[in-house]
Structure 1
């Protein structure tokens, strides 16, 4: 992520409000102007000094020359103290309009003033006491020259042709005109210097503005634009080889950096906008997801409620149909078993009755064995009766065998029905387990739903209680079915034993029939076989007794089977009632 670089506005740091802002070119121009001005002023000053000095020297030399000439001309007149002649000497010079002669005083050797002249147009230099002041310097053979601000004073001795001093002449020359001329020259020089300085300043200003000021101004504008964040500018002067070019290239670097910073800022803003958009999208997505989850939860709750109702109804319907089918099958099997058991009781009673008859006949036959020989016909009749009774016994044994087989089949069906009932009970247990699991899941979903799931939690608790009741009922039914299966197993074993005994009786009866047939066809052997007949009769008696006992056992088993069938019927009714109660609770819960 790019770092944000603040772009500060340019400020007027260090400047007073309202102060004139000088550009670099103006500052350079001021420096050049000041330097030039100082240089020119110095040159003018030196020039004027030299010129003044030259003019003063020239004026001094002229004044001295004129004074010396006047002193030569005054020698005769001063020697003879002729005032008019002395006046003639300086009159012509003094009468000129541009004369600078201010004073002229002549003295004799004694220092007395011979003549004196004071110009009316030029201020006086005050020369009357000069000789007394400078007499010593003159005695040394020199000429006294002096200067004041306004006068050039010359005191010179006047000599004759022999070189002897005849007097003194003090001349005061006015410097006002010289000063005025020097001032005029100074003013002229100043004007020329000012004009030259102005020309130099204009030329320098133009050159500075052209080659320095304008590029610097452009660079300043460029840097100001860069400082304000505007990088869409053109940097001038990049091709220059001087300092301005270096500055332009440096500003170009700043521009490149500003463009990079701007690009980074744009990228950062894009990143922030993208992140903000992504955050908004995530927020909307999360809101949509939350809404979708809420809708799905509501749909799931509604679907769960519908599925719960549908599941409860399907369970009730399936349980009702299954239990009705099982109960109907149990009822049908019980009816068949009841009919077969009744048949077995009847057959057992008939078998017992016929066995009693056979036993009586056997006993009678045994009682009459001793009179067999005498009563052959009676024996034949008895044997026929016995044969008939044996046929009846064989028929009864076969019927008993059939009844036993039917009973075995019924008991087998009863065992199968009991197994199917066990499967149904296992199915009910599975349904109860699934119902319990569904109630547990419903309790968890109700706890997750919070306040909105409290009602669903109560229903789930009731479903769980009903599942527990169903489990307890199926366990009770399972115990009853186990008892019924045990009784059925015992009945099956008893029936198998009856079948075995009936098989033995049948075999015995068949043997008796064969023996009687042989006795009937071989009556002549009766006498020889009386003992055998007696023995066979005893065997028949024993067999008949055993058949009677087995018939009694069969009757008891059939009676017990009838009791089991009654209990099975009662259990079927109870199972139907329990299932109806459970179905009623499930339907009321589903509604």
Structure 2
């Protein structure tokens, strides 16, 4: 058996394939690349996140500090609403080329805009429109800050050194320059990461190719040569102490085994030639045995022919006897079948006649049951509608109960408020009494003063008159409050009575709903029973129709059976004739 050696063209094709295939060293390089890329990407991402957070916190802190300082400087100008003085406070900030101040709006203590500045070079926001929302976030004289995608908005109260609130200052700080700085840092980090990754990959690729890729490629070439039948090859790396050395020694074992296999193939070819000679000699012996067996088979065939003739004659005699007996039995059975068939024709006619009458009665019963089923279904639908209306009434009762409870709470609060008003009126009465007392004292002092106290006496008289009017007014209010409290008490009692009536109505509705559900269940049960009766009646009608059809079919089959009996008698006679002819032929062949 010859071993084909690879041609130069095949070797070049294998080299091209080896150049583009994914080798072990390349796979390791890809794993290292992916791992390094993921690690560096994670480090860059975390670093940028921390840097962004630090810069944002620093910017937020600085912006809050500057805004608070501006608020301290704005207190006097904002108190007297001087726009020029207010503008001088932030003039230097907005005039700086590196300024990130996009909007400044000042408000008085009532929330009205006093001054408003918008930058021409930076994106702005509508602070005045969001003032009410921003003001809700203010604490006790503490600034409020919020971050948007493009700005940091700071709202701070403006107070005087005596802690008097004179207005508010709202500042929108642009984050564009911060975002630009972060984008520049991101690009710088990406470039550094790419350069580091490229250097790592170059070094890793060189080391992998030097210590793994090249030795494995040499071992692959050696194994390919062994597979192609070349045993005279040199295996490198046998002295290495790593996995590559183990692979080299394993390839050496393959080389030794390949030499043994080649020797075994030569021995196998020699053994095959010897076996072919032995097979030829066995074939000649088999041919001689076949000729001998053919001769013996011919002698046995001649003997078997004589035996078959004798056996055929015996079979013909036995067949004649059996066929005659069977023909006689067929004739007797045919006569009996004819008599039964005539009886079946008569019975089928009677069955058809009676089944027609039963079918008519069944159809009438089915119609009556269908009418009852329709009426029961209509009754069930009516009960369901009544149940639905009762359910709606129950829901309305519950809603009315909720409204009554809410009214009870409101009236209760009204009673409490009326009581509080009574307390206030009592306080006013006390004040009026004290005022009367003071007016009396003033009158006495004016009388003691003589002419010098006349003016004071007039004032005391007026105060006394006002105190009297206050007393009269409070008495009238007290009367009205008493009437309102009485009406409130009556309203509370009326609401409670309404709640009790609603509870009784709700209980009655629940009882009605339960009764309707029971009636509806009974009606549904009647409907199901009537429908089942209708279905059963229809089934009976169909069964009677089937019986009628089967009776007609039985009559037809009985008539066909009569015809078949006549044909069977004819076939029996013909069978005797055919069997006689066959027996004649058998006897002639056996003679």
Give me the TM-score of the superposition, normalised by structure 1: 0.42
Q: Which has the larger radius of gyration?
A: 1
Give me the TM-score of the superposition, normalised by structure 2: 0.42
